[in-house]
């Protein structure tokens, strides 16, 4: 199911369960022909949410993940901390360029899996590949750059000592549920400044460090990661504090709330 179909299915189900089909948003009207299929999908998703809480989903993902699988897949060294850099599915031009500039210094202290996106306008993927080829042979194996990370993401989270990336709801939720400490670089101007709010919440709990994009330089990134990675016990504490923010049964709570609102 596409991301749009997923969202539309949930919207359709919520609208019907709330007993307000005539008050459906006008934006849905052009897709009314797909309403029955969307409603069927949405009801299935909500039933699953009711019977399979987020805690069970995350626990299941953890049980299937493997640090060794991630290290083997990307040819990494088990003795070095792994930093997962991500700008989300689209990648982040600013993060990509700063990491690329800092690569030799960063790879002196860690190894990096870099999800950079594949934006043809910025050309970041090709530029990073060139930077990787120019690395000294001794540290070149410590860096892997990919446009996207697929099914192996669950293993990457199991192996990562630290995440560096944006602070959208998906990334923050994954870090908190899985107890992965992070350096969050909120996207400036995101709707309602939500990314800054997300990152600030985790930072206040001690589970992340926030590095505003206006302060993001190669030097600042190297200094931040050097301090964090030098304190393994501190990273574990950060991960535990991030995990304390998780609402593992969020899906179950949402489904129960919808059922309560929809009750006669």
Residue-by-residue DSSP string for 227-253? HHHT-HHHHHHHHHHHHTT--TTHHHH
Verify that 20 and 137 share a domain, yes or no: no
Domain interval for residue 73: 65-243
Q: Are residues 110 and 11 in the same domain?
A: no
Least confident of 3-12, 92-101, 177-186: 3-12
pLDDT of residue 61: 57
Q: Give residue 24's pLDDT band: very low, low, confident or very high (50, 70, 90).
A: very low
Mean pLDDT of 225-244: 97
Structural domain count, the chain: 2
Residues 134, 258: one domain? no
The reported pLDDT for the residue numbered 258 is: 84
CATH number for the domain harbouring residue 142: 3.40.50.2000
3-state secondary structure at position 138? coil
The packing angle between helices 3-17 and 250-262, to 10°, is 40
Instruction: Identify whether 163 is part of a domain.
Output: yes
CA-to-CA dists, residue 65 to 152, 183, 223, angstroms: 8, 22, 31
CA distances to 21, 29, 96, 145, 186 from 103, rounded to whole Å, are 54, 49, 10, 11, 21
- pLDDT of the residue at 222: 98
The closest alpha carbon to 169, from 208, 199, 206, belongs to 199
Do residues 77 and 103 both lie within one domain?
Answer: yes
Average pLDDT, the chain: 83
How big is the CA angle at 181 (ends 179 and 186), to the nearest 5 degrees? Answer: 120
86 lies in some domain: yes
Asked whether residue 60 is domain-assigned, the answer is: no
- How does pLDDT run across 103-133, given as a tens digit for each residue? 999 999 999 999 999 999 999 999 999 999 9
The reply to whether 33 falls in a domain is yes
Phi and psi dihedrals of 188, rounded to 5? -65, 140
Site of tokens 């987020």: 54
């Amino acid at each position: 199911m596409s991301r749009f179909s997923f969202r539309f299915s949930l919207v359709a189900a919520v609208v019907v369960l709330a007993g307000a089909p005539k008050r459906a948003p006008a934006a849905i009207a052009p897709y009314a022909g797909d309403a029955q299929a969307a409603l069927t999908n949405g009801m299935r998703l909500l039933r699953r949410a009711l019977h399979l809480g987020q805690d069970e989903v995350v626990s299941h993902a953890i049980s299937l993940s493997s640090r060794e699988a991630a290290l083997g897949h990307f040819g990494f060294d088990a003795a070095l901390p792994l930093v997962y850099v991500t700008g989300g599915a689209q990648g982040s031009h600013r993060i990509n360029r700063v990491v690329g500039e800092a690569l030799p210094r960063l790879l002196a202290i860690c190894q990096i899996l870099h999800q950079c996106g594949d934006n043809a306008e910025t050309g970041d993927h090709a530029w990073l590949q060139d930077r990787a080829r120019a690395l000294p042979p001794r540290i070149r194996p410590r860096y892997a750059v990919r446009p996207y990370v697929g099914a192996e993401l669950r293993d990457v989270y199991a192996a990562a000592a630290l995440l560096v990336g944006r602070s959208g709801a998906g990334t923050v939720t994954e870090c908190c549920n899985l107890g992965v400490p992070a350096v969050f670089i909120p996207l400036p101007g995101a709707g309602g400044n939500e990314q800054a709010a997300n990152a600030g919440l985790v930072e206040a709990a001690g589970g992340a460090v926030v590095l505003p994009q206006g302060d993001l330089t190669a030097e600042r990134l190297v200094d931040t990661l050097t301090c964090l990675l030098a304190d393994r016990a501190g990273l574990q504490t950060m991960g535990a504090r991030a995990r304390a923010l998780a609402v593992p049964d969020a899906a179950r709570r949402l489904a129960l709330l919808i059922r309560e609102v929809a009750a006669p």
